[in-house]
Amino acid sequence: MPIPSATAAARIRPSATAPELLRNFCIIAHIDHGKSTLADRMLQLTGVVDARAMRAQYLDRMDIERERGITIKSQAVRMPWELDGTPYALNMIDTPGHVDFTYEVSRSLAACEGAVLLVDAAQGIEAQTLANLYLALENDLQIIPVLNKIDLPAAQPEKYAEEIAGLVGGDPADVLKVSGKTGEGVEALLDRIVRTVPAPVGDADAPARAMIFDSVYDTYRGVVTYVRVVDGRLDPRERIVMMSTRATHELLEIGVISPEPVPTKGLGVGEVGYLITGVKDVRQSKVGDTVTNAAKPADQALGGYSDPKPMVFSGLYPIDGSDYPALRDALDKLKLNDAALNYEPETSVALGFGFRVGFLGLLHLEIVRERLEREFDLDLISTAPNVVYDVTLEDRTEVVVTNPSEFPAGKIREVREPMVKATILTPSEFVGTIMELCQTRRGDLQGMDYLSEDRVEMRYTLPLAEIVFDFFDHLKSRTRGYASLDYDTTGDQAADLVKVDILLQGEQVDAFSAIVHKDKAYAYGVSMTAKLKDLIPRQQFEVPIQAAIGSRIIARETIRAMRKDVLAKCYGGDISRKRKLLEKQKEGKKRMKTIGRVDVPQEAFIAALSSDGGGAKDAKDAKKK
Amino acid sequence: MSPALPEGDPAPADGALPASATVGADARRFGVYLHVPFCAVRCGYCDFNTYTATELGGGASLAAYATTALAEIALADRVLRAADLPTRPVSTVFVGGGTPTLLPVDDLARLLDGVRTTWGLAPGAEVTTEANPDSVTPDGLQRLAAAGFTRVSFGMQSAVPHVLATLERTHDPARIPDVVRWARDAGLRVSLDLIYGTPGESLDDWRRSVEVALSTGVDHVSAYALVVEAGTRMAVQVRRGELTLPDEDDQATKYELVDDLLTDAGLAWYEVSNWARTPQDASRHNLGYWRGDDWWGVGPGAHSHVGGVRWWNVKHPRAYADRLGRGLSPAAGREVVDAATARLERVMLGVRIAEGLPVADLAPPARQAVAGLVADGLVDPRAALGADGGERRVLLTRRGRLLADAVVRALVD
């Protein structure tokens, strides 16, 4: 029940709450399974947000998050709750739900002792949820299984309670049933959190150690860092050290979120809150890093820190070349808030000046792209996403290729490509079709388990390159949308890969170069040349479009020469009208990119790069389920 | 709906011309265009400024039209004098429409008299009227010739009934040889206008139309590709899928066919869409547009050009009559062409004629571009080198004529 009295509330004052009165938990859920709505109900029930101030998905800060119903950045909210006459402070740590952010998820989980496993009672558990559940078990979190949306007519709580119980152990009857929409069962859930999630344990007298599980750039405050204190305490105005970089900062402000930031007199063992030091770049406050006291530093950092590593690359180019400086500024600003984003200037013959941008995965790519377009009002072209290749030449020189057009031309000894472990959950009727799909994507079946009578978990290793293209689209369309996918990287493998170039009238169009498996080079060449033939308007001369591996042509199409481009009439001496048409045509030509002598409209590049359901489209569907 | 007027600057109420208009006027010929904005029926493809209601009233009706147009001729005279332009006898008159032959012959004669008494006609002046094959008689043509007309241009369009039906042309194609003969008997030179690329027109249909035109022994042919303009009835039919437009390849093939047939019959192209048996058979009035000569356009929606000033009249016959009735210029807007625009126009217009455009008239970078056009087979190499005896000039090959707009873009970039 909500905290009844001020005396009770005083016992759980931030910075002065005994660890045994703290409960730190997160919610693990698939996108659309109702995590944000459930969080809203908790905020209301615990009284930290009144009905008047309530807005849907209160915790999702960015517009994109609220609109898409997904949570990009985790946050922590402190909520009071009383059980059996004892007041407790619950810290709800919101985790990103998507596999692109696995590292961030793992750090969020490391800040908790318990996890609510939230599953849509009409849909059952999804592959990504399963992946995060594994992570939670790895972190020894107490799992509270919950079925959501029991108000839906299509809900099958009994069936899915059994499925969940089968996965986490325990009795199906212990699976809580709630409705974030109506609020049904949410009080019982809060009670269950207090009862079953262990209180944090730490050494209050040891040097301070706090783990950073998120850091967010705020225009007015600079970087806001979210921490979980493990040992000791942090106090305002003291100097702190980031243990990975040894950088010291002054703690300008420390506090908790409830649900707006409230400064406190510090944070003690087990507490979760935020720090402000005045730094302007999230790279100075890295997720996973350990914060300690400068005067009395800890010897050893908390484990688990690693630098985010981009897995997928794409070239981003402004459609209007004069927007290049604006794109650079926009990326610089996004970087303040996204430690995983990295980019380098790149020049493309076809697309002009742009950036090669590294992303954690496809959703990350799509979110960055959308933010650039929406928040910075930029029109962009992105090249087909690709992975990183390690190429060893005959002379043993090693080259790391993040852009297909930079694939070395000389004698190649070996090419290694990144691999993923993929988990696919599917109704059993689609097992055959999925095996077929994975086989064409060079997948290797590692195992298969029945989660329930008609739901199967299939485990594959696949080249990452095979799923960044249009794998997810195909998976969805072949299973009528029922299958779900999760993947995580797992080393690399040597493979027979070649670079296919596309030539327009003999000139290489760098934006269309692709690294593909030898067996698929021909198909790529044929489809790309055919596509461009339809997209590029006829010119005054015949234009051959070729696909080539090195100097060997593997596919060819021809755009026939244009035969007529003349207005026959001059309307009763209306020269002005004719001249204006001409001026319009000239303007149109300016918006074209010229490859050799061939004028290619910007739209042709966009269409050629975006049809085929490239990665960006995949990502869009991926979060919708 | 007729084509929208260009956007320009406001025209002065009295029509006064800036001093710049007089520069070099002595070297330019002066022509008069008379627009007759009436038709018995509006054709589905037509977007010209024309009206079928003959009773527009207020000086705008068909009956009052000649009187109203004569008022503009008087105004033109005042404006040209006020600008200190030398009085130049008129070298060409062209009456277009609409359907000029809907006007009584007497009215056409009165208009021509107005021109003659105001400025005088140059010796050997070319005086043309457009005519619908439906609306002429042997007697009417004789009277036109007697009034001073020297040339008639018939809107034949096609010899094939289903093509004419699609164009909503009402005339009987069988009349064509007759009307040509009547006109020639009256001492008039004759031109036939043809349209190719009408929906449903086969290559054989087109061949037949050209052959029928040639069978009349005509000395001048204009052949225009059908352009479906926004706002016409035909544009609606195309949008609804009731008519299917031929593709550009079909139009190109038909252009090549008409060029072959006319050339074999002894005619030669002198402008992208115009062929004549001898240089004297060419339409000098139309050449004036391409050469940058001066002309005064009389009538609703008519366009004029005098010494780098282009202007256009209000479109509606009532607004037109109203302005003139109040002693005001009927101009709706105008533009004074600056040097850069003038060069662009010079290229745009000059490359279309068989005289070619002197290379010296091109900006230096454009002169370099000529080499590429020669290499692509769009520009005649001998003319470009001056190897045919004349000055070096840009003369389009047949392929170049079909791609004339692309050539212009290459020369003005």
Of A436, A476, A478, whose CA–CA distance to A619 is shortest? A476
CB contact under 8 A, A573 and B252: no
A/B interface, count of CB pairs below 8 Å: 105
Instruction: Say if residue B128 is exposed, middle or buried (CB neighbours under 10 Å; 0-12, 13-18, 19+).
Output: buried
Residue A441 has pLDDT above 90, yes or no: yes
In this structure, which amino acid lies at residue B208? R
Question: Going by DSSP bridges, is the β-strand pair B309-313/B331-336 parallel, antiparallel, or unpaired?
Answer: antiparallel
Q: Which of A575, A583, A589, A597 to mutate to test the interface with B (most CBs of B within 10 A)?
A: A575
Q: Is residue A361 within 8 Å of residue A104, measured between CB atoms? A: no
Query: What is the predicted pLDDT for the residue at A74?
Result: 43
Q: Which residues of B are less than 8 Å from A565 in CB distance?
A: 248, 402-406
Tell me which residue in B305, B406, B413 faces A573 most closely, judged by beta carbons: B305
Give the neighbor-by-neighbor strand order of the sheet with A76-83.
A76-83, A86-93, A22-29, A114-120, A142-148, A176-177
Whether chain B has a CB inside 8 Å of the CB on A576: the answer is: yes
Going by C-alpha positions, the residue among B14, B78, B69 that lies closest to residue B297 is B69
User: Which residue in this structure is represented by tokens 């979120």?
Assistant: A257
Task: Name the pLDDT band for A60 (thresholds 50, 70, 90).
Answer: low
Residue with tokens 């244009």: A562
Residues 313-352 of B with CB under 8 A from A: 335, 341, 344-345, 348-349
Would the pTM of this model clear 0.90, i.e. be above it? no
Confidence grade of residue A614 (pLDDT, cut at 50, 70, 90): very low
Residues of A in contact with B412 (CB under 8 A): 582, 586
Domain edges within chain B: 19-291, 338-413
**Per-residue DSSP letters for B320-371?**
HHHHHHTT---EEEEEE--HHHHHHHHHHHHTTBTT-EEGGGS-HHHHHHHH
What is the per-residue pLDDT for A80? 94
Give the number of other CB atoms < 10 A from CB of residue A329.
13
Cα dihedral sign for B383, B387, B388, B392?
A: positive
Given an 8 Å threshold on Cβ–Cβ distance, is A572 in contact with B35?
yes
- Residue A25: Cβ within 10 Å count: 21
Token output for A38: 């459930």
Average pLDDT over residues A170-178: 92
Mean pLDDT value across residues A83-97: 87
d(CA B355, CA A619): 61
Instruction: Round to whole Å and give the CA distance between A223 and A622.
Output: 30
Give the distance from residue A581's alpha carbon to the nearest chain B alpha carbon, in angstroms.
Answer: 10
Integer-rounded Cα radius of gyration of chain A: 28
Name the pairing type of β-strands A497-504 and A514-517: antiparallel
B37 touches chain A (CB under 8 A): no
Report which DSSP code applies to A301.
P
The rounded distance, in Å, linking the Cα atoms of A259 and A80 is 11
Tokens of A549: 């591996």
User: pLDDT grade, residue A617 (50/70/90)?
Assistant: very low
Nearest Cα neighbor of A319 from A353, A347, A343, A344 is A353
Q: Closest by alpha carbon to B133, among B201, B190, B49? A: B190
CB contact under 8 Å between A574 and B348, yes or no, is: no
The CATH number that domain B338-413 falls under is: 1.10.10
Span B19-291: which CATH code? 3.20.20.70
Which tens digit of pLDDT belongs to each residue from A477-512? Answer: 888 878 888 888 889 999 999 999 999 999 888 888
- Report the range out of A15-24, A29-38, B363-372 with the highest average pLDDT: A15-24
Is the CB of B312 less than 8 angstroms away from the CB of A574?
Answer: yes
Instruction: Determine whether the interchain pair A579/B273 forms a contact, defined as Cβ–Cβ distance below 8 Å.
Output: no
Determine the Cα–Cα distance for residues B224 and A568; give it in Å rounded to an integer.
6
Q: Which residues, at least 6 apart from A96, have a Cβ–Cβ distance to it below 8 Å?
A: A71, A72, A73, A74, A104, A105, A108
Question: In chain A, which residue's Cα lies nearest the Cα of B226?
Answer: A568
pLDDT in tens, chain B (413 residues): 455 677 788 889 999 999 999 988 888 999 999 999 988 888 888 888 888 866 566 667 888 999 999 999 999 999 999 999 998 999 999 999 888 988 999 999 999 999 999 999 999 999 999 999 988 999 999 999 999 999 999 999 999 999 999 999 888 999 999 999 999 999 999 999 999 999 999 999 999 999 999 999 999 999 999 988 888 889 899 989 899 988 889 999 999 999 999 999 999 999 999 999 999 999 999 999 999 999 999 999 999 999 999 999 999 999 999 999 999 999 999 999 998 889 889 999 999 999 999 999 898 888 888 988 998 889 998 899 888 778 899 999 999 999 999 999 889 86
Instruction: Quote ipTM for the complex.
Output: 0.82
Number of Cβ atoms within 10 Å of the Cβ of B8: 16
Q: Is A592 on the interface with B (CB under 8 A)?
A: no
Angle at A490 between CA A486 and CA A493, to 5 degrees: 125
